[in-house]
Amino acid sequence: MELNDAIQLIQNDQLSSSQITQWADLGCGSGLFTAALSHFLLPGSTIHAIDYRPPASIKSVKAGVNVKIEEADFVNDPFFFNDLDGFVMANALHYVKDRPNFMRKINFALKPGGSLLIVEYDTDQPVPTWVPYPLSYKSLQQFFESQGYTRITKLQTHPSLYGRANIYAALIHR
């Protein structure tokens, strides 16, 4: 996926804010969705880009948006931040086996009214190693409703390079 595709996939007016915000991109990989998210944030905003093998740098970040690249296992390591406006997890939530426990960790670090931006494959069929705990959009809705989230919005979809299922983006609020 290219940067413009990632920007279009997560496009939503609710991502744009009139205030400086602080986000974390969990399992940032190459930083594609870190860069995409930055295009919706005000200068002075910060994104913590977290991965167990983080990139040395992230290209195409909007000018003025700060990116802090940090090495960590987002599932097992404690978070070193709190009071975040949002989390983005692009093709990362499918690595979390114990989602209810993981959500307690997320909720502790998320401001009241904060956002979760999820990008996932729209399937419940596991692919060993690559997608061990998949989460179709329907399953995502059910899971987050069970966790007390009431506003779950499917944004856009994009064809997967692997042809098995589309990729979807969802924006979630408590």
Band (163; pLDDT cuts 50, 70, 90):
low
User: What H or E segment, with its residue span, contains residue 171?
Assistant: strand 167-173
Band (162; pLDDT cuts 50, 70, 90):
low
CA–CA distances in Å: residue 111 to residues 22, 61, 80: 10, 24, 15
Domain 3-173 has CATH 3.40.50.150: yes
* Backbone phi, psi, residue 107, to 5°: -60, -30
pLDDT at 60 over 70: yes
The domain spans of the chain are: 3-173
- What local confidence, expressed as pLDDT, does residue 160 receive? 79
Q: Is the dihedral of CA 167, 60, 92, 151 positive or negative?
A: negative
pLDDT at 174 over 80: no
pLDDT tens figures, 141-160: 999 999 999 899 999 999 87
pTM for the model: 0.93
